[in-house]
Structures are given as structure tokens and as C-alpha cells.
Amino acid sequence: MLRLILSRVALGLLTLLAVSVLIFVATEILPGDVASAVLGQGATPETLAVFRHELGLDRPAYIRYLEWLFNALRGDFGVALTNKRDIVTSISPKFDNTMFLAGYAALIAVPLAVGLGIVAAINDGKWIDRAANIVSLAAISFPEFFIAYVLILFLAVRSHLFPVLSTVFPDMSLGHRLYVVALPAVTLTMLVTAHMLRMTRSSVLSIMSQPYIEMAFLKGLKRSRVVFVHALPNAAAPIITVIALNLAYLIVGVVVIETVFVYPGIGQFMVDGVTKRDLPVVQACGLVFAGAFVILNTIADVLAILVNPRLRKAR
């Protein structure tokens, strides 16, 4: 069991290393470098050369990579090439914001999706099952910015129930934060619910056709008891995996939502880093994102083992 977890963690670290190499190579392949991206149309060969030398871009790529890697291991991601700000201090409030929004959306979405999924499974084929399916599928089928703009138009511009700008600042109270970020959280909820709901429903249903469930029914148990006590624990593993994937999406895939709601998250920071070819920023963001993915997947794996009695015991 412990060995299993340790090997998962080791694999995760290896993945991170591979990701760091990939990101570095990708940013090297991109046309242009930070000097020409920052100076833009105003670049002359002379100012370019000065800037490149200032940034150390005139040294070989592998040296820059190794240097960065060793510093990163010490927790030092360096300074942004563009505005010379320390990357860790720039990223951490943005990462906190991203986690806040993701956590907020997850707190609404996960209970909603799993709950509705179970309800749908219990009432397989009835109107509530169909309604849950149709509504969640419709929500996921619209592009995210469309949902966002519709919510803004009706709930913010027309009725003034919520603010248009969801920007959070360090001096805001938790209650105020929850209010300001409500619209993006609802939008994200609508985006991730369908996937989790349908996975919950179908894995519960597939367990429901197993012989031991039939046995439980034959014992005379109520349907709800069969679902919660007999079916759900066995159906949990795929549900947990899907939840983990969706949580990861909430952390790394919300740059459009950040832009539309003017939310200061890490996604916009990374996009700006890519357009400016700010390699240390992209590396750091990429590593944070990869880390989020690896950690969530590892947790999902471990949880799936823990909830399933058959996996818990090593063979």
C-alpha cells in the first residue's frame, strides 16, 4: 500500500521533470523571443541585441535550462524577464485566486453533479433523469464565454444582482469575495457538472446490473439503500477519477473565464507569459499546472484504492 503510494509520487515527479523539458523546448521552438516580443514593432537590431544580452538570451539553451532547474529545486523561479518582478511573489497571489475560484466552483459542482447523478440513476428513464441530462448537456454544449456573457447581461448589467467585474483584491473579506466571484463560479459549475453527472449515473447504473445488486433487491432492500450502500462504493473509483480530472480543468483551463470576468488568476498570467516569451514565467506556470494535475491524479488513485475493498488488500 505504502509502496504503491510512493511509486505514484515518484512517477509524478518524473512527469513534472518531463513536462519542464517539454515546456522549455516548446518555448524555444516558438518564433521570436522575449526581446522581440517585448519590444514589438519598436524593435531595432541594436535595442534587440542590448536586451538579449541583458537577459542572457545569448547563451546556449541547455545551460539556461539546467540553471533554471537547479534554482527551481531550491524554490527560486527567478524574476520575470519582462518587468523584473520576482516570479514566486507574482504567482502566489494569482495561484491563490485560481484555487479560490476552482474550490468555490468545485464546492457547488461536485455535490450537485454526484447528487444529481445518483438521483438520475435511481430514477433511470424517468423525467428527472432526462431533465438532469438535458440541462447539464445543454450547459456544456454552449461555449463558456457565451454562458458567461448571458449571465453578465441578465444578472449584472440588467438587474445589478452581481458585479460585472469579478476582480478580487487582497483586502476583501471572505463574504465579499464569495459574492463577487459568484458569477464565474456558477459559469464553471455549468461547464463541469455534465461530465461528472453522467459518469456518476452510468457507473452506478452499470453496477446496478451486477448479480450481487440483484441479490440485494431479492433480499427485499429499498432501492435507495441498495444504491447508497451496495452500488455506490463499488462505483466510486471511476467517479473519483472524473472528479479529479474536472478539478484539474477548473485549475488550469479557465483562462477564458478569467478574461471575461476580469479575474486575476494564473491562466492570464501564463498566456501573457507565452505571448511575451517570458520563459521563466511560462516554466513556473507550466510547472504549477502540471503539479496540480499530478497531485490531483495521485490523490484520485489513492482514494480509489482506499474506497475499494478489493484494491485495498495487496494480492
Partner 1 sequence: MNEWERLQQAALSGRATRREFLRGAAALGITTALTSGIMVKAGYADEPKKGGTLRLGMEGGSPSDSLDPRTYADSVMIAASLAVMNCLVEFDTAGNPTGELFESWDVKPGAAEWVFNVRQGIKFSNGKTLDAEDCIYSIQIHRGETKSPAKGILEQIKEIKALSPTQVGITLSSGNADFPVILGDYHIVVVPKDFTDWQKPIGTGAYTLESFEPGVRLVFKNRGDYWKPGRGNFDTIELRNIQDVAARTAALQSGEVDAVNRLDARTVNLLMKDPNLNVVRTKGTGNRFCFVTRVTDKPYDNKDLRTALKYGIDREKIIESVYNGYAVPGNDHNLDALNPFYNTEMPQRKYDPDKAAFYFKKSGLGNVAMELQTSEGAWGSAVDCASLYQQALKKAGINLDVKKVSADGYWDNVWLKVPFCAVYWGRRMSADQAFTQVFGEASDWNDTNWKVPEFQKLIKDARVETDQAKRKELYWKAQEMIADDGGFICFAITDYLDGYSKKVMGNQPHARYDLNDNRIAEKGWFA
Q: Smallest Cα–Cα separation from 65: which of 54, 53, 52, 78?
A: 78
The only residue of 133, 167, 206, 308 in contact with partner 1, by rule CB under 8 A: 167
Q: Across the strands, what pairs with 79?
A: 86
Considering only residues 267 to 296 of the shown chain, the ones binding partner 1 according to CB under 8 A are 268-269, 272-273, 275-276, 278, 281
Minimum gap (Å) between residue 215 Cβ and partner 1 = 57
- Sign of the CA dihedral with 223 first, then 228, 230, and 235 last: positive
The only residue of 108, 156, 172, 178 in contact with partner 1, by rule CB under 8 A: 156
Q: Which residues of 132-142 are buried (b: 16+ CB within 10 A; e: fewer)?
A: bbeebeebbee
Does the protein bind partner 1 through residue 36 (CB under 8 A)? yes
Cell of 67: 540553471
Instruction: Tell me the residue type at 203.
Output: S
The residue to which cell 438535458 is assigned: 134
The only residue of 85, 126, 130, 225 in contact with partner 1, by rule CB under 8 A: 85
Kindly tell me which of 284 and 300 has the beta carbon lying closer to partner 1.
284
Cell of 293: 494535475
Minimum gap (Å) between residue 83 Cβ and partner 1 = 4
Kindly tell me which of 129 and 278 has the beta carbon lying closer to partner 1.
278
Does the protein bind partner 1 through residue 84 (CB under 8 A)? yes
Minimum gap (Å) between residue 172 Cβ and partner 1 = 12
Q: Which range in 46-54, 70-78, 106-114, 193-201 contacts partner 1 by CB under 8 A?
A: 46-54
Q: Which range in 25-33, 60-68, 233-241, 244-252 contacts partner 1 by CB under 8 A?
A: 25-33
Q: Which residues contact 267 (CB under 8 A, 6 or more apart)?
A: 98, 252, 253, 254, 255, 258
The only residue of 2, 45, 73, 310 in contact with partner 1, by rule CB under 8 A: 45
Q: Which residues contact 210 (CB under 8 A, 6 or more apart)?
A: 234
301: helix, strand or coil: helix
Does the protein bind partner 1 through residue 83 (CB under 8 A)? yes
Would you tell me how many other CB atoms lie within 10 Å of the CB of residue 310? 8
Applying CB under 8 A, which residues contact partner 1? 30-32, 36-45, 47, 50-51, 54, 80, 82-85, 90, 93, 149, 152-153, 156-157, 160, 163-165, 167, 169, 259-262, 264, 268-269, 272-273, 275-276, 278, 281
